[in-house]
Amino acid sequence: MKIQQILEIKELKKYYRVTSGLIPRPVGDIKAVDGVSLTIAEKEVLGLVGESGCGKTTLGKTILRLEEPTSGEILFNGMDVVKLNKGDMRKLRGKLQIVFQDPDSSLDPRMTVGGSIEEALVIQGIKSAGERTERVGALMEKVGLEAGFYERYPHEFSGGQKQRIGIARALAMDPELVIADEPVSALDVSVQAQILNLMMDIKDRDGLAYLFVSHDLSIVKYISDRVAVMYLGRIVEMAEKHEFFKDPLHPYTEALLSAIASLRPADKEKILLKGDVPSPLNPPSGCHFHTRCHRMIAICPEVDPAYREVAPGHFVACHLY
Amino acid sequence: MAAKTILEVKDLKTWFYTRRGIVKAVNGVSFTLDEGECLCLVGESGCGKSVTALSILRLFDSPPGKIVEGKVLYEGLDLTTCAMPLLRSIRGKDIAMVFQNAQSALNPVFTIGDQIEEQINTHMPHHDRNSRQKATALLEEMKIPEAAEALKMYPHQMSGGMKQRAMIAMGLSCDPRILIADEPTTAVDVTIRAQIIYILQELKARRNMSIIFITHDLSLVREIGDRAAVVYAGKVVEIAPVEHILNKPAHPYTIGLISCLPDISADLKRLPSIPGNTPNPIDIPSGCPFHPRCPSVMDICRTVEPEMLNISGVQIAACHLYDANVTGKR
């Protein structure tokens, strides 16, 4: 049986030009996303982890073309999203949605929450007001809110409820892929679990796929089928979930897992990384991670390691393998 | 080994009188801190853990805030009523504080060195000449590379992790006996967080310093805490050694908090969750504040506030389930 890939990204790059001086001159590029390739199958959850500034949010936004890619291909159901014009892109956005990290700033404070959800339906061309109201009610129920909340404003809701509204809005047009950008990191622990359960229920019922962006490995382990790790704009390791947690290959992944007490195997020493994440404006030569790596070898500062499949479905970019 | 109690907080209540009503941010918190011990205050946002920390040194805005009841005893001295000059000499010297957001806690127009030295010179005037030396030594202790150079940097020239470490260095500059760390690792990445936790663990061991570590993250409690106090709606609902809190929690809220952490070792299909939301501190539920969300709620919980009950000598929880008079058992 061939698995249907709904998203396929090839060598995607997003650079930001940095200028300096009175008469602005380019001084370099911030390579926020620097040659990322990945696929997401139907009904699959791909967890994307990395530290702040590694480019995971930019990657999510670039897939939706909220940021224009510098180069590369984004194939959604075989169609190259990068080449679509504005009108076609708008039609596609119903199927390709995003849930943002901060529900406070992603909802319009002067719009009722019903109105916020309905707006998505208006944009997607559902003309009958009756049908729209009905669908908004159904959506609100789906995410566990009373339909009676239609006329309320965002400030009347708690953080968890606001995130439910954000999810309802993303679901308005029955998407096939939802990019969830740290959807629970702004929430309290007891509420996080509610939202994660809700997202899993919706996925099982509606059969959608998620690109789940997070910095929290324990959440990623719970929700994902496969996990990808990003470091300075590149994916350094990607594997099926169980393999990823059982047998991490890349030294950076090892260090990430080691930083979490409950994830660290009892027999292994805690790995403390030296220093900070380098600036993406001026990333280290060769392997970007070599400045902090605890298993560096002579070749690492010289040559950029290739991103290869070392075991079926297990990709890693490291000279050790 | 009975360590000496260095700080005792007794039935502390800090209320904020606002136009919308009285915000009972801290509503009867009690705990003790031993010498050389790390006590974690754990709770969700808005539960009053930060205000508790601020109340110890009276650092909240007053008005609207006011300590309406209770005592904070540092070596027998009540910090809630002592004269301001005396309190000022204790702040930063005997009891120091590290804030969550280093970005906003540091002054952007002074160098890191100036800011650390200011504190040293304020509290130890005789240190005057070698304050720079001391500041350098502190940054080295924080494992900041090229410490002498780093002292000349302004906060914006440093990374988030470095700023947080500079903040801790500042907190330690006068060799405090108690360090209050208010979510010092929330704003930094996991790998940096691991570095900071390591530094704090080391400091505690080397300096025999007491730490009050405030966090919402139970996995950190395991790493750094000796004992933990779980705070809910302005009250401590359970206090016990960390192993007890994590492995056999007593209060239903603690049980809920721990079970909703995604368990790394197990493959769960569904996460247990606590229904509902944290209560609004203006309008705290009657009786036990947790009763509207509690899975084992009884009639008495709605009306009578539970007292702190001794569960196993070292473990204390405020829950009617453990009151023999209520349940009729035991």
Q: Which of A200, A274, A159 is nearest to A47 (CA)?
A: A200
Helices (H), chain A: 56-63, 86-93, 103-106, 113-123, 129-142, 159-171, 189-206, 217-223, 241-246, 251-258
Task: Among B189, B260, B274, select the one facing A52 at the smallest CB separation.
Answer: B189
Q: How many residues does chain A have?
A: 321
Note whether B45 contacts A188, CB cutoff 8 Å: yes
DSSP SS3 for B254: helix
A127 falls within a domain: yes
Asked if residue B152 lies in contact with residue B111, where contact means CB atoms within 8 angstroms, the answer is yes
Contact A261 B219 (CB under 8 A): yes
Q: At B265, is the pLDDT very low, low, confident or very high (cuts 50, 70, 90)?
A: low
Q: What is the pLDDT at residue A250? A: 93
Amino acid B330: pLDDT: 42
Share the mean pLDDT of chain A. 87
User: Hey, are the CB atoms on A263 and B223 less than 8 Å from each other?
Assistant: no
**Range with top average pLDDT, A188-192, A235-239, B162-166, B255-259:** A235-239
* For A221, nearest residue in chain B (alpha carbons): B264
Task: Report CB contact under 8 Å: A189, B161.
Answer: no
Which tokens in the block code for residue A180? 């969830």
Closest residue by Cα to residue B147 from B168, B164, B133:
B133
The more confident residue out of A62 and A103 is: A62
Q: Is the pLDDT of residue A185 over 70?
A: yes
Chain segment A138-165, per-residue pLDDT in tens: 999 889 888 888 888 988 888 888 999 9
CB A26 within 8 A of CB A19: yes
Question: Given an 8 Å threshold on Cβ–Cβ distance, is A256 in contact with B190?
Answer: yes
> What ipTM does this complex have?
0.71
Q: Are residues A261 and A119 in the same domain?
A: no
In this prediction, residues A33-58 reach a mean pLDDT of: 90
A306: exposed, middle or buried (Cβ count in 10 Å: 0-12, 13-18, 19+): exposed
Interface test with A, best of B157, B217, B255, B271 (most A CBs within 10 A): B271
Candidates A189, A203, A216, A229, partner chain B, best to mutate (most B CBs within 10 A): A189
Chain B residues touching A254 at Cβ < 8 A: none
A197/B271 CB distance under 8 A: yes
Domain boundaries, chain B: 5-36+43-90+213-327
Is the confidence at residue A239, as pLDDT, over 90? Answer: yes
Task: Determine the Cα angle at A215 with ends A210 and A221, to 5°.
Answer: 60
Q: How do residues B271-324 score in pLDDT, each as one tens digit?
A: 777 887 778 878 888 889 899 888 888 888 998 888 888 888 889 999 988 887
Q: Are A204 and A57 part of one and the same domain? A: yes
Same structural domain for residues A231 and A189? yes
SS3 content of chain B, % helix, strand, coil (to 5): 35, 25, 40
A203 in contact with B, Cβ within 8 Å: no
pLDDT-based confidence at B263, cuts 50/70/90? Answer: low
What's the mean pLDDT in B3-13?
A: 90
Distance CA A205, CA A286 (A): 45
Q: Which domain holds residue A117?
A: 103-173
Torsional sign, CA B110, B115, B121, B127? negative
Instruction: For residue range B45-70, list pLDDT tens digits in order.
Output: 888 888 999 999 998 888 888 898 99
Interface check for A227 against chain B (CB to CB < 8 A): the answer is no
Q: Which of A173, A200, A227 is the last residue of a domain?
A: A173
> Which residue in chain B has the smallest CA separation from A186?
B45
Domain covering B5-36+43-90+213-327 in this structure, CATH number: 3.40.50.300
Residue A258 lies in a domain: yes
Same structural domain, A126 and A62: no
Q: With respect to residue A321, please indicate whether it lies within any of the assigned structural domains.
A: no
A163 shares its domain with A17 = no
pLDDT of residue A165: 92
Q: Are strands A234-240 and A226-231 parallel, antiparallel or unpaired?
A: antiparallel
- CB contact set of A200 (below 8 Å; sequence gap of 6+): A223, B270
* Residues of chain B contacting A191 with CB distance shorter than 8 Å: 273, 277
Question: For residue A222, how far is the Cα from the chain centroid?
Answer: 15
Q: Are residues A44 and A127 in the same domain?
A: no
Nearest alpha carbon to residue A155 among A112, A116, A119, A114 = A112
CB contact under 8 A, A189 and B194: no
Residue A160 with chain B: CB contacts under 8 Å: 277
Using left for φ > 0, alpha for ψ between -120 and 50, and beta otherwise, residue A233 falls in: left
Q: Are residues A138 and A272 in the same domain?
A: no
- pLDDT tens sequence across B221-247: 888 889 999 999 999 999 999 999 988
Written as six digits, the tokens of A288 are: 């970007």
Measured CA to CA, the distance from residue B182 to residue A113 in angstroms comes to 35
Q: How far apart are CA A199 and CA A212, in angstroms?
A: 10
Per-position DSSP letters for A29-89, written without gaps between them:
EEEEEEEEEEEEETT-EEEEE--TTSSHHHHHHHHTTSS--SEEEEEETTEEGGG--HHHH
Of A143, A173, A203, which residue constitutes the final position of a domain? A173
Among the partner-chain residues B191, B218, B263, the one whose CB lies closest to the CB of A259 is: B191
How far is B280 from B24, CA to CA, in rounded Å? 9
Taking the CA of residue A171 and the nearest CA in chain B, the distance in Å comes to: 21
Please say if the pLDDT value at position B205 is more than 50.
yes
Residue type, A87: G
Q: Inter-chain contact B195–A188, Cβ cutoff 8 Å?
A: no
Which among A141, A173, A205 is the end of a domain? A173
Tally of domains within chain A: 2
Name the burial class of residue A293, with classes exposed (0-12), middle (13-18) and buried (19+) by CB atoms within 10 angstroms of its CB: buried
Q: Check CB contact under 8 Å for A222 and B162.
A: no
Q: List, for residues A304-320, the tens digit of each pLDDT value.
A: 898 999 988 899 999 98
Give the gap in angstroms from C-alpha A128 to the nearest C-alpha of chain B: 35
> Does A273 sit within 8 Å of B270, measured CB to CB?
no
Question: What residues pair up with B316 in beta bridges, in sequence order?
Answer: B239, B310
Contact B21, B59 (CB under 8 A): no
Is residue A81 domain-shared with residue A192, that is, in the same domain?
Answer: yes
Share the mean pLDDT of chain B.
86
Per-residue pLDDT, B232:
92
Does A77 reside within a domain? yes
CA torsion angle for A253, A256, A262, A268 (degrees, to 10)?
70
Q: For residue range A87-141, what is the model confidence (pLDDT) as tens digits? A: 888 888 888 999 988 888 888 999 999 999 998 888 888 888 889 999 999 999 8
Please state, for a pLDDT cut of 90, what percent of chain B lies above it. Answer: 23
Whether B144 contacts B102, CB under 8 Å: no
Confidence (pLDDT) at B216: 85
Same domain for A123 and A183? no
What percentage of chain A's residues is helix, strand, coil (to nearest 5)?
A: 35, 25, 40
CATH number at residue A312: 3.40.50.300
Q: Is residue A85 in some structural domain?
A: yes
Assign B18 a pLDDT band (cuts: 50, 70, 90). confident
Kindly state the greatest CA–CA separation across chain B.
68
A232-236, B118-122, B163-167, B270-274 — most confident range? A232-236
Burial B101-139 (b: 16+ CB within 10 A, else e): bbbebbeeeebbbebbbbbbeebeeeeeeebeebbbebb
pLDDT number for residue B179: 93
- On chain A, the residues whose CB falls within 8 A of the CB of B275 are 194
Indicate if A33 and A181 belong to the same structural domain: yes
Question: Does B161 lie at the interface with A, CB-CB under 8 angstroms?
Answer: yes
Task: Reduce the DSSP state of residue B286 to 3 states and report it.
Answer: coil
Q: Give how far B43 is from chain A: nearest CA, Å.
A: 9
Token match 């900070």: residue? A276
Q: Give the nearest chain A residue to B188 (CA atoms).
A: A52
Whether A266 has a pLDDT exceeding 70, the answer reads no
Rounded to an integer, the average pLDDT of B66-84 is 90
Residues A204 and A280 in one domain: yes
- The answer for residues whose C-beta is within 8 angstroms of residue B256's C-beta and 6 or more apart is A190, B272, B273, B274, B293, B295
Give residue A252's pLDDT band: very low, low, confident or very high (50, 70, 90). very high
Residue A83 lies in a domain: yes
- pLDDT of residue A1 exceeding 60, the answer is no
Do the chains contact at B273 and A245, CB–CB below 8 Å? no
A165 and A211 housed in the same domain: no
